[in-house]
Amino acid sequence: MSCKISVIIPAYNVEKYVKKAIESALNQTLKDIEVIVVDDCSTDETVNVIKSIYDTRLKLVQNQTNKGVSFSRNKAIEASSGEWIAIMDSDDWWSPERLQKMLNHAIENNANIVCDDLWLIHDGEEVPYTTHLKSRAKIIGHHKEMTFLSASRMISDDYGYLKPIIRSDLIKNTGLLYDENLNGDEDFKFLVECIYHSGKMLLIPEPMYYYRTRPNSLSSSISRAIVLHQSQIRFTGELITTYSQEPEIESALKSHRKKKQRGLAELLFKDRLEKKKYLSATILIASRPILIKSLLRNALIR
């Protein structure tokens, strides 16, 4: 039986958060939905928490082995019956009217992809400290009105963190999938491909998605960021090859890759300072003078 929107939620060891995520979806003012949660072999009480929620619109799918977030999202999309797909992370939550408002904007503007702004909130707190778009206003400018974004604009301004609703036909008719070889930033690549096939994405500046930011130690976060940047540089290179016949997209991707390469150099520099490898850090700067400009520019932006 079909429904208006399929909400897909990959889950792994989120016993503390997943109930709030699911209930925020089930409590939407738009009731014609299904919520598909794919558990990725959690080792905590995540599955039992999900099973404790009684609602016929909730479906639990369990992976037999740990496969990663991209596999779980692809599995949920395959099992979905909605006219639209809504992407949600298992430690986040929504405003009650989010889906209805986004669907209304999609219909009114003939859009196949719609994103809203994100409230950013520290784990354990009740009040957001800013929104995603406001936090990047010095880089991308201020968004006060709804606007359509092309694939090249999405790449240039790096809107990969946004959580869209996407017309399911766009995904299923084109065979689009999340890249299961990526462990981080899979949203960016998937959204680029969706916008390319759709032609445009509608961005709503109203924040209705609550994005939970969790604290991590400095050393572990830098280490993860280095791995993520290396992955981003690799798959951006693959996308450049894929879209070599699309000049605007190719140019945006090349600029995006340069930003990630500069970011990687900065992270390597910070990592060496953190580990007190001062000689190695000095050699890194000497070999990449652009690092000095980049570090100064970031300091001014902050």
Q: Tell me the per-residue pLDDT of 225-235, one tens digit each, with 9 for 90 and over.
A: 888 888 889 98
Highest mean pLDDT among 35-44, 117-126, 287-296 belongs to: 35-44
pLDDT of residue 219: 44
- CATH placement of domain 3-213: 3.90.550.10
Q: What average pLDDT is seen over the chain?
A: 88
pLDDT of residue 297: 55
To the nearest whole percent, how much of the chain has pLDDT over 90?
66
Selected residue with higher pLDDT from 300 and 207: 207
User: Per-residue pLDDT for 57 more than 50?
Assistant: yes
Q: What is the DSSP string of the chain?
A: --EEEEEEEEESS-TTTHHHHHHHHHT-S--SEEEEEEE---SSSHHHHHHT---TTEEEEE-SS---HHHHHHHHHHH--EEEEEE--TT-EE-TTHHHHHHHHHHHTT-SEEEEEEEEEETT-SS--EEHHHHTHHHH----S-EEE-HHHHHHHT-TT---EEEHHHHHHHT----TT-SS-HHHHHHHHHHHHHS-EEEEEEEEEEEEE----HHHHHHHHHHHHHHHHHHHHHHHHHTTT-HHHHHHHHHHHHHHHHHHHHHHHHHHHHTT-HHHHHHHHHH-THHHHHHHHHHHH-
Q: Using 50, 70 and 90 to split pLDDT, how confident is the model at 29? A: very high
pLDDT of residue 178: 95
pLDDT of residue 109: 96
pLDDT of residue 282: 66
User: Per-residue pLDDT for 209 more than 80?
Assistant: yes
Sequence ranges of the domains in the chain: 3-213, 218-301
Average pLDDT over residues 196-204: 91
Q: Using 50, 70 and 90 to split pLDDT, how confident is the model at 301? A: very low
Q: Dump pLDDT digits (tens) for 252-295.
A: 999 999 988 888 888 877 776 766 666 666 666 656 666 655 65
User: Per-residue pLDDT for 298 more than 70?
Assistant: no
d(CA 274, CA 281): 10
Closest Cα partner for 90 from 189, 16, 182? 16
Q: Is 52 exposed, middle or buried (0-12, 13-18, 19+ CB in 10 A)?
A: exposed
Q: Using 50, 70 and 90 to split pLDDT, how confident is the model at 126? A: confident
d(CA 282, CA 193): 40
User: Per-residue pLDDT for 116 more than 60?
Assistant: yes
